[in-house]
Structure 1
Amino acid sequence: MTDTRFDVLAIGNAIVDIIADTDDAFIASEGLTKGSMQLIDEARAQALYAHMGPAREISGGSAANTLAGLARLGHKTAFIGQVATDQLGEVFAHDIRAGGIHFDIPARDGAPSTARCYILVTPDAQRTMNTFLGASQYLPATVIDKSLIESAAILYLEGYLWDPEEPRAAMRTAIDVARAAGRKVALTLSDAFVISRHG
């Protein structure tokens, strides 16, 4: 086994969290279930954003958040995920790189736009999340850099991203490369639906 450049390389959803303080009345007026997470389409994402109050934006996503924690602990990390050529794509790329995480996947042209999660926080600290997965679901196998995968001691895969076909193919390619290089492969199951749909 050769020396490694990265301790952990993760493949996951590239999502921008858009966080706003709100109250129970707003949650009810939007027909949301307080404290829940639901997937939404782009039209609903735009409508919700138009109605909610001032917000702050920060890169998110399960695997990316894991890397952010590892990077703060001094580990060398890298991320593979898909954003679009839009403002939120730039926000995601900026934030993850500013956190010391290697990220060089080209942004995707055209629709859909960069994934985002609208997180509405009520005074009792309950989070009501509304997630539009957007471009993150279109990570192609062609972006898998064999040398990058081989350079990481651990390949960490986000279970949420195992669901759509295109990124699942990219992950399978990465797994094959990692195993051939004698690297460890870790898969976070993320949610019960990953197990029920894929075993």
Structure 2
Amino acid sequence: MTKKYQVVGIGNAMVDVLAPCEDSFLAENGIDKGIMQLTDKARGVELYGLIGPAKEISGGSAANTIAGIAHLGGKTAYVGKVKDDQLGEIFAHDLRAQGADYETPLAPKDHEAETGRCIVLVSPDGERSMNTYLGVTEFLGPDDIDEAQCADADWIYLEGYRFDGPTSVAAFDKAIAACKGAGGRVSVTLSDPFCVDRHRDAFRALIKDHIDLLFCNRAEMLSMYETDDFDAALAQAASEVEIVACTDGADGAHVLSGGQRWHAPAMPVQIVDATGAGDLFAGAFLWALTNGHDLETCGKMGCVAASEVISHIGARPEADLHALFKKQGLL
């Protein structure tokens, strides 16, 4: 029986506030370059006041992935919490405009937290340093999970950043049970090496018990398996998960399954803003997988989509990905 959705994503619903900056600005304000740091509301407001002109775009890692799948014409839905406020309206509008279903109940106007936002400081080399105020998305819980929606999905896609929420694991457990109980499959992205450090045991248990497809990058893979040996880490992951898809920056991506390993080359491109590269890799990979493409092609399409999104500001595709896939002989 055909499911209503190819992929349902669950993650932190955020609005990205993208601003260019010099490396000196990062140093002056105590910001570690190239990673995601959690901030409180006061710090988020302070940084917002310090940055120059900025661009506000709906973001959130899994939401970017779902938007990418929707851009490709996939049938998708997203679960993530925003408030009934201005940024919440921006988030919901942008995601629905891409063609994804978004029905998560809004936090009420009188909620003490606000819609989450991520101040993304983009250095001249395209590297991004993220300062994240989770806001109401931190409170996503089991009550926000629509079991019927998860059961009606070929795949669910879980965002590793959600492990920072107090009731997130319970929400994931409910979604996994609903999806797998109806014959669906489960994927997860590790999101960030520091996120892995905070929740390694929980990630390891989730991966071994429930995950069919693991998305990560080199740094996250090494952090997960606490080794400096990339090939050994890949092999260990492949022994625990049916499909492993690991990105490796300018070296493209590695896909492992069933004792086989494929390499997908990166597309040469001028990096303008690295935000969303992994998100769009996962989106194109899942779209390709749910449309019957082989794993090597899935990896190659992922690299094409990643190269498109880093060629401009913002973590959502702007060019026609189908046309780019055809240009590379993938469609």
TM-score, normalised to structure 1's length? 0.92
1:44–1:5 CA distance, 2 compared to 1 (3 A): same
Determine if the alignment matches structure 1 residue 134 to structure 2 residue 138: no
Give the letter for the 1:31 counterpart. Answer: G
How is 1:118-197 mapped onto 2 (pairs within 5 angstroms)? 118-191=119-192, 192-193=196-197, 196-197=200-201
Larger RCO (alpha carbons 8 Å, 6+ apart): 1
Contact 2:33 2:128 in 1 (8 A): yes
1:11–1:132 CA distance, 2 compared to 1 (3 A): same
Q: Compute the displacement of 1:146 (Å).
A: 2.1
Q: Compute the displacement of 1:194 (Å).
A: 5.8
Contact 1:189 1:195 in 2 (8 A): no
Q: Compute the displacement of 1:47 (Å).
A: 0.5
Distance in 2 between the 1:72 and 1:60 partners?
A: 15
Distance in 2 between the 1:126 and 1:183 partners?
A: 36
Contact 1:8 1:155 in 2 (8 A): yes
Q: Compute the displacement of 1:165 (Å).
A: 3.0
Distance in 1 between the 2:179 and 2:167 partners?
A: 19
1:130-156 residue CA offsets vs partner (Å, 9 max, x unmatched): 111111111121122222112211111
> What stretches of structure 2 of length at least 5 have no aligned partner?
205-331
Report the 3-state secondary structure (helix = DSSP H, G, I; strand = E; otherwise coil) of the residue aligned with 1:70: helix
Q: Compute the displacement of 1:5 (Å).
A: 0.9
Q: Compute the displacement of 1:189 (Å).
A: 2.5
Report the aligned-residue RMSD.
1.6
Contact 1:14 1:81 in 2 (8 A): yes
Aligned to 1:97: 96
Contact 2:66 2:77 in 1 (8 A): yes
1:51-94 residue CA offsets vs partner (Å, 9 max, x unmatched): 11111111111111111221122211100011112211111111
Task: Indicate the structure (1 or 2) with the bigger Cα radius of gyration.
Answer: 2
Greater displacement, 147-156 / 18-27:
18-27
Report the 3-state secondary structure (helix = DSSP H, G, I; strand = E; otherwise coil) of the residue aligned with 2:81: coil
Contact 2:163 2:199 in 1 (8 A): no
Aligned to 2:58: 59
Q: Compute the displacement of 1:25 (Å).
A: 3.4
Aligned to 2:38: 39
Report the 3-state secondary structure (helix = DSSP H, G, I; strand = E; otherwise coil) of the residue aligned with 2:27: helix
> What stretches of structure 1 of length at least 5 have no aligned partner?
none
1:85-116 residue CA offsets vs partner (Å, 9 max, x unmatched): 22111111111111111101121120211111
Distance in 1 between the 2:35 and 2:163 partners?
A: 22
Aligned to 1:17: 16
How is 1:72-111 mapped onto 2 (pairs within 5 angstroms)? 72-109=71-108, 110-111=111-112
User: What is the percent sequence identity of the aligned residues?
Assistant: 46
Aligned to 2:115: 114
Give the letter for the 2:134 counterpart. Answer: L
1:11–1:36 CA distance, 2 compared to 1 (3 A): closer
| Bigger strand fraction | 1
Distance in 2 between the 1:195 and 1:31 partners?
A: 24
Aligned to 1:7: 6
Runs ≥4 residues deviating over 6 A: none
Report the 3-state secondary structure (helix = DSSP H, G, I; strand = E; otherwise coil) of the residue aligned with 1:165: coil
Greater displacement, 143-152 / 10-19:
143-152
1:85–1:182 CA distance, 2 compared to 1 (3 A): same
Contact 1:160 1:194 in 2 (8 A): no
| Count of aligned pairs between the two proteins | 198
Report the 3-state secondary structure (helix = DSSP H, G, I; strand = E; otherwise coil) of the residue aligned with 2:167: helix
| Bigger helix fraction | 2
Distance in 1 between the 2:36 and 2:190 partners?
A: 17
Distance in 1 between the 2:146 and 2:170 partners?
A: 14
Greater displacement, 119-128 / 147-156:
119-128
Distance in 2 between the 1:91 and 1:149 partners?
A: 25
TM-score, normalised to structure 2's length? 0.57
